[in-house]
Structure 1
Amino acid sequence: MKSISETMWDEWVFSPVSSTNADSEVAGVLWGLMPASPEFLTKERLVILSGRRLWVFRRLRRIWSHSRWGQRVELPTILNVPASFKGNVTLSIPQTLIAEVVVWGENAKRKNDWAWLRGVWGNCGSLYVPKSGYYLAFRFRFYRLMDMVLSLLKNNHFPMGKRMVDEQYELLLRDQEKIVTLLSNFKLFDTSLKLEEKAIVRAMRDRANRLVNCDASNIRKTLEAAEWQLEIAKVFQNEKVWATLPEPLKELIETRMQYPSATLTELGQLLSKPVSKSTVKYRWQKLKEMAEQLPHGI
């Protein structure tokens, strides 16, 4: 069975291509591939972009021809994939084209361009579902892209945390409902549904565990209470002491001796004149105080 992360990337790669959003998504992918250093221009005035995530280039191949830039440059002529499929895949893109992509990205925040952010997600995003909690993260090579993404997300009320990890900028989202909403904005509906299903299963499992722990705790407390009540009952086995006890207290002791594992509620209902749990508790407290005053008390 596929993990949620595998489902997500398969859906990201093979989602239907929209000619309306192709420009934005291509621009987002290229922004995510840009290096941290501005010195990446060759003598032929080509910008070299690179990345290790092969699925990003599979998606780029699907959407490139639908974008305005695909009509001017054929992707195979600028794409270089290592023969071993290991290491960086590179794109050698004309500087003029990159300049247009940069402007497109600068406008993404103002336009709430989710298609652009979906493209950035391909290179910079990760989803983690450990045994507890949910983590959606973006990691960026340079501050400018991090700031653009952070502004877009904050403008749409996504509570992002920010920190440095391995000399990269990281944005972190931990709210499960917000994560589902963001994935839906990326048109990753199957992933969103699978994440919600997992959240429901987790909630049911956690509730079941709490109930089991609660039951176990209640059983332990019942047995501990019964144990000290039996100790008190033994103190009153002396006939002289026994004769001084009121009948309701005698009956309570006899019932406890007969039903050593009964709860206080059950004990109260077993008496000839049933009483509440609080009354049973009060009577045992009274017996305890009386036993402590005896010469050979508890």
Structure 2
Amino acid sequence: MSFAEEVKNEIAHCEPENTDCRYAELAALLCMGGALILGSHGHIGMEFSTSNNAVARKALKMWMASFAIRPEVRVRQGLRLRKKNYYILRVPPSLASTRTLQQLSLFPGDREFQSIDLKNTACQRAFLRGAFMGGGSVNQPKGDYHLELLTENELFAQKLLKIMRRFRLPAKMTDRKGAYLVYIKEGNGVSSFLQQIGAAQAYMDFESVRVVKEMRNNVNRVVNCETANLQKTVDAAIRQRRHIERIQASGLYLRMTPKLQEAAELRMHHPEASMSELAALSGMTKSGLAHRFKKIADIADTLEGQDNHERSNNI
């Protein structure tokens, strides 16, 4: 079972706080996962389908608690092996169903869902919960953080985005092949969304994995940083020894100043030490020691330049 299915199974058992919240949750659920049916005389019906058994039961339970019309319930089997069954709730077009759907603001022209209460914070949470059950998905916390709500209704997507931003969720909206996607790509945002819709256990599971993941990433960053610093220390030590050996081979070593000879002897006796360690051993400052090695490097570079010039003349 995917993490998204686990979230839907959990929130499908959340009870709306009151009648207004139930209307808000049912409206979002049907708007996300349902389709209107046009009948004769301008009457409207509705068909809702889902592959999640718990969500189907929740939709039927909320509908039966809200309206007298009993929907038709069917199960459509998957066409292939291991394909999930689809649970279908159908309300045939009629005058009564038309009035019922108007109460849920499911007509295309009702862009602000004026028939339901979306000013109350609890109703807003219920609205987001219904939308996620109807057409939401969220990645496993082990992977990239991503939560999305996908709908073909642009006005509905804009309403979801508006409500999510009221909760200070970092949600964004884009279009995808004729549909509209409201999404969150930040770990804190996904975590907060799960809290808002009442997925307490999923939130705990998500945070548990996220903490371990962040800790592992921090450890890796520290290790990588220390490895890089160690490599720099090794490279610097090798380069300094080569400069000293080049000067020794030229016979100019004893002509260097005592301070430069002191730095050279220190490096040759401690080939793997860092600059900080050499400074501590010598009683010098790190910058002062680095200045001496810079002068040694300049002498070695001068010798190297002279050698190259002589080779070119011989050719």
Both structures adopt the same fold (TM-score exceeding 0.5): yes
Is residue 95 of structure 1 aligned with residue 70 of structure 2? no
Give per-residue Cα distances to partners, 1:92-148, cap 9 Å, x unaligned.
252222121127943344445221231122112111247664222111122232232
Give per-residue Cα distances to partners, 1:158-206, cap 9 Å, x unaligned.
3432211132111112233233222222111222222222332222112
C-alpha separation in 2, matches of 1:223 and 1:63: 69
| Counterpart residue number, 2:298 | 289
Question: Where in structure 2 are the equivalents of 1:1-298 lying within 5 Å?
Answer: 4-16=3-15, 18-20=17-19, 21-35=21-35, 40-43=37-40, 45=43, 47-55=45-53, 56-65=55-64, 67-69=65-67, 72-74=68-70, 77-83=71-77, 86-87=85-86, 89-92=88-91, 94-102=97-105, 105-106=113-114, 107-112=116-121, 113=123, 114-129=125-140, 133-238=144-249, 240-271=251-282, 274-294=283-303, 295-296=306-307
- The range that moved more, 164-173 or 239-248, is 239-248
Contact 1:162–1:169 (CA<8 Å) still a contact in 2? Answer: yes
Closer, same or farther in 2 for the Cα pair 1:7/1:246, shift >3 Å? same
The one-letter code of the counterpart of 1:183 is L
Closer, same or farther in 2 for the Cα pair 1:185/1:215, shift >3 Å? same
1:287 shift after superposition: 1.0
- The range that moved more, 174-183 or 256-265, is 174-183
- The range that moved more, 23-32 or 258-267, is 23-32
- The range that moved more, 113-122 or 127-136, is 127-136
- Sequence identity (%): 20
The one-letter code of the counterpart of 2:66 is R
Give per-residue Cα distances to partners, 1:62-117, cap 9 Å, x unaligned.
4444x322xx234xx52222255635624225222212112794334444522123
1:240 shift after superposition: 4.6
Give per-residue Cα distances to partners, 1:240-283, cap 9 Å, x unaligned.
52222233322322232222221111122233xx2222222111
The one-letter code of the counterpart of 2:4 is S
C-alpha separation in 1, matches of 2:209 and 2:243: 51
Unaligned runs of 5+ in 1: none
For the residue of structure 1 that corresponds to 2:248, the secondary structure is coil
C-alpha separation in 1, matches of 2:136 and 2:26: 16
The one-letter code of the counterpart of 2:100 is L
C-alpha separation in 2, matches of 1:261 and 1:3: 52
Contact 1:128–1:135 (CA<8 Å) still a contact in 2? Answer: yes
The one-letter code of the counterpart of 2:248 is Q
Closer, same or farther in 2 for the Cα pair 1:111/1:124, shift >3 Å? same
Pairs aligned (count): 286
The one-letter code of the counterpart of 2:13 is F
C-alpha separation in 2, matches of 1:288 and 1:119: 70
C-alpha separation in 2, matches of 1:246 and 1:184: 70
C-alpha separation in 1, matches of 2:2 and 2:289: 54
C-alpha separation in 2, matches of 1:158 and 1:240: 71
TM score, norm. by length of structure 1: 0.83
Contact 2:12–2:58 (CA<8 Å) still a contact in 1? Answer: yes
| Counterpart residue number, 2:313 | none
The one-letter code of the counterpart of 2:152 is R
1:17 shift after superposition: 5.6
C-alpha separation in 1, matches of 2:12 and 2:100: 23
Q: Supply the RMSD in Å over aligned alpha carbons.
A: 2.9
C-alpha separation in 2, matches of 1:239 and 1:124: 78
Contact 2:276–2:286 (CA<8 Å) still a contact in 1? Answer: yes
Closer, same or farther in 2 for the Cα pair 1:199/1:140, shift >3 Å? same
For the residue of structure 2 that corresponds to 1:293, the secondary structure is helix
